[in-house]
Amino acid sequence: MTEKEKMQAGQTYSAVDPDLVRELNEVKEKIREYNDLRPSDKPAQRKLLKTLLGHIADDEVLIIQPFYCDYGQQISVGRRFFANFNFTVLDEAQVTIGDDCFIGPNVSIYTACHSTDPTERNTRQEWARPVRIGNNVWIGGSATILPGVTVGDNVTIGAGSVVTRDIPSNSIAVGNPCRVVKTIM
């Protein structure tokens, strides 16, 4: 298996593999191009996002600049997706976001995992776990979604929350670590 195939399969892989580093740099060039587009040029933004992201459900997607990601092709967004500025996605694994999701400013979604052992970590070996976000989700500003988390449908994540575990559908969840404080519907 290539290092990319290992990464996509959730296996340990070399984060400094030359092919992966080359791909990261190519994506960074596209990200720079996207972030340098005029904010009023929505058609050019959508056109570039369609080449950058793995799946966009419709033309109503709006990601306010600046936006950052690692690979892009591992990101799938549903209909009427909106993300405010400084949306950051480390998409070493799949990141799937449903319909009618709203992402506040400075939100980060991480899939990359690193060893807590410094010797292992210094080998630059890592692995990744997918993140899934359901439909009708609002993630408040400066929230962080960690690897392997699933957020259900009809969920609100409070600003500044650090989501370390799954959040069930029809919930309001807040805090660090994020926890359900109210069930709705």
> Which residues does the annotation mark as catalytic?
114
For the chain, the distance separating the N- and C-terminal CA atoms, rounded to the nearest angstrom, is 46
What does each C-alpha distance from 85 to 65, 75, 76, 159, 178 come to in angstroms? 5, 17, 18, 14, 22
CA distance 130 to 88: 15
Evaluate whether 137 touches 101 at the Cβ level (below 8 Å).
Answer: yes
The residue written with tokens 């439909």 in the block is 135
Sign of CA dihedral 88, 60, 76, 29: negative
Q: Which of 143, 147, 144, 142 is nearest to 131 (CA)?
A: 147
Structure tokens belonging to residue 70: 């690692």
